[in-house]
Amino acid sequence: MNAEANLPPLEFKINYITWTTFQVEATSPALTYILTDYSFGVPTELYRGPNGIITLDNLTKNTNYSFTLVGYVPPFGNTEPALVEFKTPDRMQPKPPSFLEPFNQTLDQVSFFWSPGEVEGGEPRYEIRRDKSLLDTPKTPPYTDTTPEQGRDHSYCIRTFDDGFTFSEPVCVNVYFEDLTAPTKPTGLRTSNLALQLSWDESYDSSGDITYIVDKGIDDELGRTKQLEFSITGLEAGVRYEFGVTAIDNSNNKSDREIISYPAIGISLKDKRGV
């Protein structure tokens, strides 16, 4: 084997590090991989073989380690050494609960139960988030969320943490809440003069998905839009029109209808020109 280093260093990734183990994975191809330990002054070859995924056991916690990873690529020879350095943690990363289970769900609340997590320092505590926003840090189950929003598919995640605020990986579950509440009524409906463009203030709905139905009288729908304005053409001179706007969500819940007259009530029809 040609020992002369004449190729770029291998690319690699560290898959995990614990108190006593670590795993490195070479992401560049080679026929043979060599991992050498330089942590304690004397180079010690720990692995030589074809497997680019190398796992070491029997490390010491809270200790700095330094390795080199070299690949042999025929017929060119060895790669330059890739430096692999890390420090083992001084305590075990907390383990998350094995499950997060919702129960007693209603339209406006849901409760959760979970299995115990594990920590090295102190008693396990739990962090619960909804859509990445912190809800609470309970010590034990169950936990009840009383502020979900209708029409939403909320993502709930739990993590275990210890007395040093070291966190586990999250365990997550999605919970959908049925939407039975209509959006708020559009307000501030108004027109511009000759262009006759209707505009209104935004409605609110917990689902966040609102469509506006624009009509020229009940059962005379002109169109639908997610914008806060709507242009109208084809009006006749000397006619007073009543326009309405109704908000509807993705569960087909409808708000009350906001109405406006054009020309406005109290203005003579002969003072307005049709468009």
Q: What is the pTM of this model?
A: 0.52
What is 70-104 written as a DSSP string?
Answer: EEEETTTEEEPPEEEEEE--SSPPPBPPS-EEEES
Q: Report domain 5-87's class.
A: mainly beta
Q: How much is the pLDDT for 240?
A: 84
Q: Is the pLDDT of residue 18 over 60?
A: yes
Instruction: Identify the CATH homologous superfamily for domain 187-271.
Output: Immunoglobulins (2.60.40.10)
pLDDT in tens, 140-198: 999 999 999 988 999 999 999 988 888 999 999 999 998 888 888 888 887 655 558 89
Please tell me which residue, 116 or 207, carries the higher pLDDT value.
116
What is the Cβ-side half-sphere exposure of residue 71, based on CA atoms within 13 angstroms? Answer: 23
- pLDDT exceeds cutoff 60 at 2: no
Calpha distance 232→271 (Å, rounded) = 19
Mean pLDDT of the chain: 89
Cα–Cα distance measured from residue 169 to residue 204, given in angstroms and rounded to the nearest whole number: 35
Q: What average pLDDT does the segment 76-84 reach?
A: 94
Those residues with Cβ within 8 angstroms of residue 99's Cβ, 6 or more apart along the chain or in another chain: 114, 115, 171
User: Is the pLDDT reported for residue 56 higher than 90?
Assistant: yes
Q: Which two tokens stand for residue 46?
A: 């720990």
- In the chain, which residues fall in CATH 2.60.40.10? 5-87, 100-176, 187-271
Which CATH architecture group holds 100-176? Sandwich (2.60)
